[in-house]
Amino acid sequence: MDALDILTDLENVIPFFQPIFSADEQRVIAYEVLGRYCSEGNIISLGPFFQDDQIPDEYKFEVDLLLVKKALEKALELEDDVSIFLNRNADLLMYGHGEPFLQELLEFEKKGLQLKRIVLEISERNYKGDIGQIDHLLQYYRTYGIGIAIARIDSQSNYFERIGQLEPDILKINLQALKSTGTGTNFNDVLFTLSLLARKIGATLLFENIEMSYQLQFAWKNGGRYYQGYYLHPPSPEFIPIDLLKHRLKEKFHDFISYEKRKLEAVYTTAEFFQVTIQEIVMRNRKASYEELFQALIKEMDQIVFRMYVCDEDGFQKSSNIFKGQNGWSTQTEYMHKNWSWRPYFLENIIKMRNEKRGILSDLYSDIETGESIRTFSFPMNGNEYLFMDISYQYLFEHDQLL
C-alpha cells in the first residue's frame, strides 16, 4: 500500500468503529475509531500508514484529521452517554502544537458533541521530543473535559513513572500477552501492580484484544471495567445496538461469579480446616518448645506445608525456620531474629489476628526463595507469638480451587 495512493484517494479513507463494553451495565459505552482504506473492494488497515516513519507528519495529520471528521460526524447520531476513543501518537498529538486538532473538536462541540465524550488514546512510541510539552498539552485538553487513556508507552522502564505523571482516566491493557505461557506469571504480577496503581489514581482499566472467553474472564477477575476485542465484536463501519450483548454478557458474568464463589468457598473451607487443626495442636503443646511444637505439626501437616516459623507481633522471628526440602525437614537457624514487618499487610494481619483471635489464610503469591506460587496460614498462638506456615504449591495444585 503506497502512501500516495491514499493521499490521492481520500474519499476511500473511512473510519471503522470497535465497540467497548462495560462490566457494570453490560452495554456499549464507547467506540474506538480505527482508520481503514477501501481499495478495490478490500478493506485495509491504516495502522502501517500511521506507523511508517518515512511518511511525513503533515501527510499523516491530513489523513488522521479526515478520519476524525468522518468519525465525529457519524458519532453525532449516537446516544449522549457513548464516548469516542481517538488514537493519537505523540508526534501526531504535537502537530501544530495540538491546536488544529483541538479546533476541529471545538467545531463539533458547536454541533452538539460534548467534548467530555472524547477520550484520547495516547501512545508515546518512538517519541523523541519534549515529554513536558506533551504533558502540558494534555492538561490543557483536560480543561475542555477531554479524557486521557494511556495505550502504549515505548519504554517499559518508565511505564509506571509516566502513569504517575499523566494520571490518566483510563489504562488500556493489551491481553495479547495472555497467549504466551512464558509471560503468563510475569503478566499477572505486572497487572496486579497496575490495578493497585489505577485504584490509587482513580483510573479505570480497559482490557483490549479480548479474543477468547478465558481472556474476558481474566479481565473481569482482574478489575477490568471496560472490555474490547473480536470475541465481543469486531470493528465495523456502522454502530451496533447498544444492548446487543447484554444477555450474553450477563450469562458470562454469572458463570464467572459462580466460579469465583466456588473458589472463595474453597479458601474459606481450607482456612477453617487450618484453624481447627492448628488450634488443637497448639493447645496440646502450649508448654512445649518451638522444636517440639514443629514436630507435632509435622505429624499432621507433612504433606501440606513446607516451611514453619514463629514471629512476635513486631515481625521479629523468635524461632528458626523449619523447612522441607528434597531430603526432608531441616532446621535453618540463620533466620532467627530476622524481621518481616516490611512485608505487605504483615502488621495489618497481626492486628487482625490479635483482635479476632483467629488465623488468616493469605492470598496467592510467589515465594521469594522457591519462586513457586504459595499461600501462608498465620495463626495467633498467644498475645505475642504468631505461627506462620507456608503451604506448598503441590498441595494447592491438588486442591486447584486454591490456585
Domain ranges of the chain: 3-233+243-258, 277-402
Lookup result for grid cell 516490611: 342
- pLDDT on residue 154: 41
- pLDDT on residue 42: 92
For the chain, list residues with pLDDT below 50.
Answer: 153-155, 181-182
- pLDDT on residue 155: 44
- pLDDT on residue 5: 86
Q: CATH fold of 3-233+243-258, please?
A: TIM Barrel (3.20.20)
CATH architecture of 277-402: 2-Layer Sandwich (3.30)
**Fold matches, 3-233+243-258 and 277-402:** no
pLDDT digits (tens, 9 = 90+) for 322-353: 999 999 999 999 999 999 999 988 999 999 99
pLDDT digits (tens, 9 = 90+) for 348-389: 999 999 999 999 999 998 898 888 999 999 999 988 999 999
Q: List beta partners, residue 16.
A: 34
- pLDDT on residue 152: 60
- pTM comes to 0.89
Count of Cβ atoms closer than 10 Å to residue 389 Cβ: 23
